[in-house]
Structure 1
Amino acid sequence: MTESLLRLLPTLEHFSVLGYWVVLLISLAESLAFVGVLVPGTTIVILTGFLASKGVFDLGDLIWFVVVGAILGDGLSFYLGQRGTQLVRPDSKLFTASRMQKATQFFQRHGGKSVFLGRFVGPMRAIIPFIAGMSRMNTRAFLLWNVSSALVWAMSYLLLGYFFGHAWQAIETWSTRFSLLLIVFFLVVAGLYWAKHRIVKYGKLMFAVLRSIGRSFLSTVRKNPDVQHLLHRHPRFFGFLRDRIRTDQFSGLTLSLLTLAFVYTFALFLGIIEDFLMADMIVTVDIRLQNLFYAFRTPELVQFFLWITLLGKASIIISAALVASGILWLNRQRVYLLPFWLVIIGSAAFDALGKSLFQRPRPEFSVYIEHSFSFPSGHATIAVAFYGFLAYILWQHTKTWTQKVNLFFLTIGVIIAIGFSRLYLGVHFLSDVWAGYLLGLLWLIIGISLTEWIGRQQRHSLLRPFFLSNSMKVVSGCLLAAEIGGYVFLGMSYAPPLTISFPLADKPLPNDVIAIFTEQQLPKYTETLTGRQQEPLSLLLLAYSDADVIAAFRQAGWYRADPITWATLLKIANAAVLNTEYLTAPISPYFWNARPHDFGLEKPTHAQSVRKRHHVRFWRTHYLSHTGKRLYVGTASLDIGIKWGITHKIAPDIDTERDIVLTDLQTAGFVDAYQQIQFVEPTLGYNEFNDPFFTKGISYVINLLKGGALS
C-alpha cells in the first residue's frame, strides 16, 4: 500500500531537490486569490508529509518551503485586494456575490485574526487575504497574522501526513473479517463522494478556467515574433497541429484525446504484463492478499459478493446486452449497436486470448471452482467494457451536469465492486483484476471512437434525446423488468461448484529440522504484506495438535489471543487508554510463507497493562515427525508500550523473549526435549513498524509433551 501511494505522486518523488519548489508553488497556489478555490493544496501538503516519513523529503526543509509558499500566496492575494478591486464584478464566476458576502462578514466578525482563522477554513482560504486588502487592513498587522498562520498551517498538515506515514503499516495490519472490509468500503465511498461533490460544485468552473487560461496562453504565444516566424516557415506542420485540436470534426480534438487515452492505457497494460512476467512487487502482494482474504472470509460476505460477481457473469451480460440493444433499436438509436457489440465481443475475445497465452492458475483458496485461467480477469474486463459503454450512451442523453457526474461515479462504483468481489471470493489475483480493467478500458475507447466516427459520418446527433411512444415505453419497461427479474432469480438459485478444501499432504520431517528450510526453500524470516523481511523464526515446536500447543502454553501462564473483531478492537482500545489489563487481547497479524499466523498467544507482564505484554505467533506446517508430531514455527516479542496510539512498540532483544517461552514451558513440565540450532546469521533489523530488533540467530527446537485438550 505504501508503494501504491508513492506512485500517486511520481512528480514529487522524482523531482528530488526541485520537488521542494513544486511543493512551494502548490502551497502558494492554495492561498492565492482566483486560484486557491480550485487547487487541493492541503491534500497535497498532507501527502508530501507522508512522503517525508518515507525519506523522500526532509521534514524540516519541507516545512520551510510550505511556509514560504503560504506566506507568498496570502501576500499576493492581499496585494491584489489593495490594487485590484475592479476584478470583482457582478458576473464573476470565482468571486460570486454570496461568497464575497460570506468572506466579508467573516472578516468583519473576527477582524485581523480572521487572516489566521481563514487559512484553516477551506473556501475562505483564498478570499480572506483579498478581502483584507480591499478593506485596507494595516500591512504590518496582516504580515503578523499571515506569517503566524502559515507556520501553524504548514506544521499541522505536514505533521499529520508524517504521522500517517509512520502509522500506515499499523493500520494496514490491524485488519479483520469485517473491519478490513468496512474500512476499505467507507474509505472508497467517502473518497468517491468527496470527489463527486467537488466535481459537481467546481467541475464546470475548473474546465472554464482551464479553457480560458489555455486560450490566453495560445493567444500570447501566437503574438510572439519567433513563433510567428516558425508558423510562416512550417505551415504544413502547424496546420496539422491546428487540425488536431479542432472541435468541429472527429479527426480533431475528439480523436486526439481518444488516441492519447488509448496509448496511455495500452502502456499501463504492457506494464502490468511485464510485472506479471517478471514476478514484480504486485505478484508478491497477490499471494499475500489472497491468503489474507482467505483468513478473513465469512459466509455472509461470501454470499453478498456472489450477488455482486453475478453482474459480470456471461449470462447476465449477454441478456442485459440484448435488452439494451432492443431498447436502442426501438428508439432508433442504432448508431450505438455496432460499437456496443464490438466492445463486448472484442473484450471477451482478447480476455480469452490473454488467458490462453499466459495460462496463470487460479488462486489456491478460491470459494468456488473456475475452469479457465486467471490472467486477466474476464469479469473485470467486461465490467469496464460493458458498463462503461452503457454509461457512455446514457451520458450522451443526460441533460444536467450533476446527473452526468452521478452517472460517472455510479459506474465507477459498480466496476470497483465487481473487481473487488473477484478478489474476496479468491478466484482472481489483484494483478488479474487490474489487467482486466485496463483491457476493458482499451476496448471501451475503441467503441467510443467508432461511435463518434459513425455519428459524424452519418451526421447523426449522438445527443438526440430518447422519444418513446407509450407502447414503446411499455415494451422497454417490460424488457428491463424481465432483466432485473432474471438477475434476482439467478442470484437466488446461484450455487457454483464450491471448492473442496483438501489439507496439504503431510510430509515426513527429517531428523535435521533445518534441512526442510534449505531443501524446500522455506523462508526463515517472517514478512510484511508486501514481502519485506522481518524477524527470523525463533521457535520450532513439535506437538500433536493445535490443542496441545495451546494447552501447554495455558498451563505455563499464557493466553490465546482473541480474534480481531469490532468488539475486541473496542475492548483493547479501552484497555490501552485506561492502561488496564486485557489478558486475551488480539494480536496484529504477521506473515510467514505468505500466510498470516494461525494462532497467537500472550502473557501479561508485571505492569498488568495491555500496553506491555509478551507475544508469540505460530504457523502450522504440514511436516510430521516419525512419532506423528507436527512442526509449528513461531516468533516471540515483547510489547513495551503504545506507538502512535495505534500499535505496540517491541523490545529490540527478541532473543530474551525466546528464552522466556522455553523457560515457561519447562517450568510447566511440557518440554520433552529441546535443542539449539544456528538458524540464521546474527541479525540487526527492523520490523514492519520500523521497530529495531537484534538476535544472534539461534532458534530452539522444542519437543512438547502431550498437553491435553484444553483451549
Structure 2
Amino acid sequence: MIDSVASHILALPIWVALLVVFAMPALESSAFVGFVFPGEVALILGGVLAAEGHASLAAVLVAAIAGAIVGDSVGYLVGRRYGRRLLQGVLGRFVRHEHLDRAERYIADRGGKAVFLGRFTAALRVMIPGLAGMSRMHYPTFAVYNVAGGAAWATMSVLLGYVGGSSWQQVAQLASRIGLGALALVLAGAATGLVVRRRHSGWARRQRDRLVASRPVVRLAARFPRTTTWVGRRLDPATGGGLPLTAVVATGAGSTWLFLGITQDVVAREELTSLDPRVHAWVLDHRLAWLDRLMQAATWLGSNAVLVPLLLLAGLALWRARRTWTPLAWITIVYGAALLARAVVGEAVHRHRPPAADWLAAASGWSYPSGHTLQATAAYGVLVVLLASGRAARTRALLAGGAALVVAVVAASRVYLGMHWLTDVLGSVTLGVALLCWWWVARSWLRSGPAVDAAAPAVPDEDPAGWGPSRRRR
C-alpha cells in the first residue's frame, strides 16, 4: 500500500507534491492518519523530489517543518477541547480513568521531553499531542518542544530522502528502525525510572511477592531452583549485579549484533552501504569554508595526539584522588582494546577510503572502521564510567550527554572531511559501545567474584524464586 501511495506522490505536479509534504505530517497527529500512513514517508519522498531536481530543497523543508508543527498544534487543541468528551463515549469503556489521570499528570509535569522525543517514533507521534492537550500542559511549553522536535524530525526525514534518492525504500526502513529505537529508549527509560522510584516502596515489594507466589514461578522454582535464583538476581534493581548489569549485557549484545550486521554489509557491499556514495556526494556539494575549519579542528578530539595525553592526565588525577592505579589500568586496557580492534578489523575487511582528492585532512590506513570515531567512543566512554562513579544522577547524565555529543561531532567530522564513508563511523560507534559494555561486565564480574552464583545454596520453600531481600547474598 505504501509503495503504491509513494509512486503516486512522486508522479504529482510539484505544487501538489509540496502540499502533500505539508499535509501528511499535519494530519498525522491531528486526524490520526499516522496510524495508517506514517508522515515520515511523505517527508522522505519530498527529499527524493528535491534530489531529482523536481523541487527546491528549501521549499520541501519549509513545507515539512510547517506541517509537522501545525499538525501537532492542532492535535494539542483537539485533545484540550474534546479529549475528555471522546473518552466519555464508547472509547471510555476501554480506558481506566485513574490510569488516564496518572498519564495526564505525568505529561503535565514532564511533558516537554515527551513531546520532543515522541516526535521520532510514529506510535508516540500520533498520540502525545492529544494527551498533552488533555493534561492541560502550558501551551508555550508545548510550543517550544513542538517547534524543536518538529524541525529536527522533519529536517532529518527530508535529508534522508534527499541523500537516499531512488533508494528511498531502504531509507524509509532505516527511518523506521530509528523510530523503533527511539520508542525502545523511551519505554526503557520510563520503565527504569519507574523501577528506580519505586524499588524502595511497598509497590515494588508487592509486585515481586505477587510474581514469586504465582503458580508458574513456583513450579519453575521447584523444578529449576538454581536457574530461577540466578534469574531473580539478574532482575534485582537494588544491586549492581542485578538489573543494571542485565541492561548493560543487553546493550552490549545489541551493539555487537549491529556491528556485525554493518560489517557484513560493508564486506558484501549491499544494504546500508548503498547510502555511502550518496552521503559522500551530498557532503561534497554542501561544504562551507567556515564549517571546513570547524570540522578540521573538531576531528582532533578523536586523535591519539589529543586522547593519549587526556587519558593519561585523567588516570593520574584519579590515582591522586583515590590512591589506586586501577582507573589508569582500566583506561589503558579499554583504549588498547579499541586500538587493537581497529587494527584487526581493518586488516580483515580491507576497505578503501573515499577518493583522496575529496579529503580535507591527512589520513592513513584502511577506511573501516573509523579509527578516530572508535578511539573517541572508547576514550570518552571509559572516562564517563570512571568519573561518574558515586556522583548524582544529574551529573552522570550531563557527563554521558557531553561524551555522546563529542563522539557524534568526531564521527560527523570524519564523514564531512571526506576521509570515511558513513558506514565506517556507524560501525565504529557500535563497536566502541560493545567494547565499553563488555568491559563494564568484566569489571563487575571481577569486583563481585565469579563464584557467587555457583555457590548459591538450595532455595528455601518460603521464597521459591530467591528474590526476597532477606535471602540475597552479599
TM-score by length of 1: 0.39
Q: Secondary structure at the match of 1:311?
A: helix
Cα deviation, 1:272-304, whole Å, max 9, x if unaligned, reads 111111211322211221122223223322111
Residue 378 (structure 1) aligns with: 371
Residue 360 (structure 1) aligns with: 351
Distance 2:249 2:95 in 1: 44
Task: Indicate the structure whose relative CO is greater, using CA pairs within 8 Å and at least 6 residues apart.
Answer: 2
User: Is 1:172 matched with 2:154?
Assistant: no
Looking at secondary structure, tell me which structure has more strand per residue.
Answer: 1
User: Is 1:224 matched with 2:214?
Assistant: yes
Cα deviation, 1:135-162, whole Å, max 9, x if unaligned, reads xxxxxxxxxxxxxxxxxxxxxxxxx99x
Letter in 2 for 1:370: A
Residue 242 (structure 1) aligns with: 232
Distance 1:279 1:273 in 2: 9
What is the identity percentage for the equivalent residue pairs of Structure 1 and Structure 2?
21
From 340, 358, 383, the equivalent of 1:349 is: 340
Distance 1:216 1:73 in 2: 31
Written as runs of structure 1 = structure 2, the 5 A alignment for 1:617-656 is none
Residues 363 and 74 from structure 1, CA distance in 2 versus in 1: closer, same or farther, beyond 3 angstroms?
farther
Q: Secondary structure at the match of 2:38?
A: helix
The answer to whether the Cα contact below 8 Å between 1:262 and 1:442 also exists between their aligned partners in 2 is yes
Letter in 2 for 1:353: V
Looking at secondary structure, tell me which structure has more helix per residue.
Answer: 2
From 430, 443, 461, the equivalent of 2:435 is: 443
How many angstroms does 1:74 deviate by?
A: 6.6
User: Is 1:279 matched with 2:269?
Assistant: yes
Letter in 2 for 1:244: R
Written as runs of structure 1 = structure 2, the 5 A alignment for 1:504-519 is none
Residue 125 (structure 1) aligns with: 134
Residues 43 and 204 from structure 1, CA distance in 2 versus in 1: closer, same or farther, beyond 3 angstroms?
farther
Which stretch of structure 1 is more off in the superposition, 212-221 or 377-386?
212-221
Residues 83 and 346 from structure 1, CA distance in 2 versus in 1: closer, same or farther, beyond 3 angstroms?
closer
The answer to whether the Cα contact below 8 Å between 2:319 and 2:327 also exists between their aligned partners in 1 is no
Cα deviation, 1:495-524, whole Å, max 9, x if unaligned, reads xxxxxxxxxxxxxxxxxxxxxxxxxxxxxx
The answer to whether the Cα contact below 8 Å between 1:50 and 1:164 also exists between their aligned partners in 2 is yes
Q: Secondary structure at the match of 1:237?
A: helix
The answer to whether the Cα contact below 8 Å between 2:280 and 2:418 also exists between their aligned partners in 1 is yes
The answer to whether the Cα contact below 8 Å between 2:353 and 2:420 also exists between their aligned partners in 1 is yes
Residue 55 (structure 2) aligns with: none
Written as runs of structure 1 = structure 2, the 5 A alignment for 1:258-273 is 258-273=248-263
Residues 407 and 357 from structure 1, CA distance in 2 versus in 1: closer, same or farther, beyond 3 angstroms?
same
The answer to whether the Cα contact below 8 Å between 2:196 and 2:237 also exists between their aligned partners in 1 is no
Residue 301 (structure 1) aligns with: 291
Cα deviation, 1:566-612, whole Å, max 9, x if unaligned, reads xxxxxxxxxxxxxxxxxxxxxxxxxxxxxxxxxxxxxxxxxxxxxxx
How many angstroms does 1:122 deviate by?
A: 5.1
Q: Secondary structure at the match of 1:330?
A: helix
The answer to whether the Cα contact below 8 Å between 1:250 and 1:453 also exists between their aligned partners in 2 is no
How many angstroms does 1:121 deviate by?
A: 6.3
How many angstroms does 1:373 deviate by?
A: 0.8
Residues 404 and 125 from structure 1, CA distance in 2 versus in 1: closer, same or farther, beyond 3 angstroms?
farther
Distance 2:128 2:225 in 1: 50
Residues 423 and 119 from structure 1, CA distance in 2 versus in 1: closer, same or farther, beyond 3 angstroms?
closer
Distance 1:214 1:76 in 2: 33
User: Is 1:412 matched with 2:404?
Assistant: yes
Residue 75 (structure 2) aligns with: none
How many angstroms does 1:413 deviate by?
A: 1.0
Letter in 1 for 2:287: R
Distance 1:319 1:119 in 2: 46
Cα deviation, 1:411-462, whole Å, max 9, x if unaligned, reads 11111000000000001000100111111112211332344345546xxxxx
Q: Secondary structure at the match of 1:367?
A: coil
Residues 250 and 278 from structure 1, CA distance in 2 versus in 1: closer, same or farther, beyond 3 angstroms?
same
How many angstroms does 1:173 deviate by?
A: 6.3
Written as runs of structure 1 = structure 2, the 5 A alignment for 1:542-691 is none
How many angstroms does 1:260 deviate by?
A: 2.0
Letter in 2 for 1:419: A
Residues 123 and 426 from structure 1, CA distance in 2 versus in 1: closer, same or farther, beyond 3 angstroms?
same
Residues 45 and 249 from structure 1, CA distance in 2 versus in 1: closer, same or farther, beyond 3 angstroms?
same
Residue 318 (structure 1) aligns with: 308
Distance 1:406 1:122 in 2: 29
Distance 1:407 1:295 in 2: 35
User: Is 1:253 matched with 2:243?
Assistant: yes
The answer to whether the Cα contact below 8 Å between 1:339 and 1:450 also exists between their aligned partners in 2 is no
Distance 1:398 1:74 in 2: 47
Residue 48 (structure 1) aligns with: 38
Q: Secondary structure at the match of 1:331?
A: helix
Letter in 1 for 2:367: S
Letter in 2 for 1:283: T
Letter in 1 for 2:361: Y
Residues 43 and 421 from structure 1, CA distance in 2 versus in 1: closer, same or farther, beyond 3 angstroms?
farther
Letter in 1 for 2:345: G
Distance 1:349 1:310 in 2: 20
Distance 2:224 2:164 in 1: 62
How many angstroms does 1:234 deviate by?
A: 2.7
Distance 1:76 1:216 in 2: 33
Q: Secondary structure at the match of 2:299?
A: helix
5+ residue gaps in structure 2?
Answer: 4-28, 46-78, 110-126, 138-149, 166-178, 450-474
Residue 108 (structure 1) aligns with: none
Q: Secondary structure at the match of 1:269?
A: helix
Letter in 1 for 2:377: V
Residues 282 and 208 from structure 1, CA distance in 2 versus in 1: closer, same or farther, beyond 3 angstroms?
same
Answer with 1 or 2: which has the greater Rg: 1
Residues 204 and 251 from structure 1, CA distance in 2 versus in 1: closer, same or farther, beyond 3 angstroms?
closer
Residues 164 and 249 from structure 1, CA distance in 2 versus in 1: closer, same or farther, beyond 3 angstroms?
closer
User: Is 1:387 matched with 2:358?
Assistant: no
The answer to whether the Cα contact below 8 Å between 2:376 and 2:407 also exists between their aligned partners in 1 is yes
Letter in 1 for 2:257: A
Distance 2:97 2:259 in 1: 52
How many angstroms does 1:226 deviate by?
A: 4.2
5+ residue gaps in structure 1?
Answer: 4-29, 31-41, 56-66, 100-117, 129-159, 176-190, 458-711
Distance 2:345 2:309 in 1: 24
Q: Secondary structure at the match of 1:338?
A: helix
The answer to whether the Cα contact below 8 Å between 2:351 and 2:366 also exists between their aligned partners in 1 is yes
The answer to whether the Cα contact below 8 Å between 1:340 and 1:447 also exists between their aligned partners in 2 is no
Residues 347 and 170 from structure 1, CA distance in 2 versus in 1: closer, same or farther, beyond 3 angstroms?
closer
The answer to whether the Cα contact below 8 Å between 2:237 and 2:243 also exists between their aligned partners in 1 is yes
Letter in 1 for 2:354: P
How many angstroms does 1:330 deviate by?
A: 0.8
Residues 330 and 297 from structure 1, CA distance in 2 versus in 1: closer, same or farther, beyond 3 angstroms?
same
Residues 289 and 417 from structure 1, CA distance in 2 versus in 1: closer, same or farther, beyond 3 angstroms?
same
Letter in 2 for 1:232: A
The answer to whether the Cα contact below 8 Å between 2:372 and 2:410 also exists between their aligned partners in 1 is yes
Letter in 2 for 1:229: R
The answer to whether the Cα contact below 8 Å between 1:378 and 1:436 also exists between their aligned partners in 2 is yes
Letter in 1 for 2:220: L
Distance 1:224 1:202 in 2: 25
How many angstroms does 1:356 deviate by?
A: 1.4
**RMSD of the TM alignment (CA)?**
5.0
Q: Secondary structure at the match of 1:259?
A: helix
Residues 301 and 283 from structure 1, CA distance in 2 versus in 1: closer, same or farther, beyond 3 angstroms?
same
Cα deviation, 1:455-500, whole Å, max 9, x if unaligned, reads 546xxxxxxxxxxxxxxxxxxxxxxxxxxxxxxxxxxxxxxxxxxx
Distance 2:158 2:406 in 1: 27
Distance 1:378 1:43 in 2: 44
Letter in 1 for 2:378: A
Residue 328 (structure 1) aligns with: 318
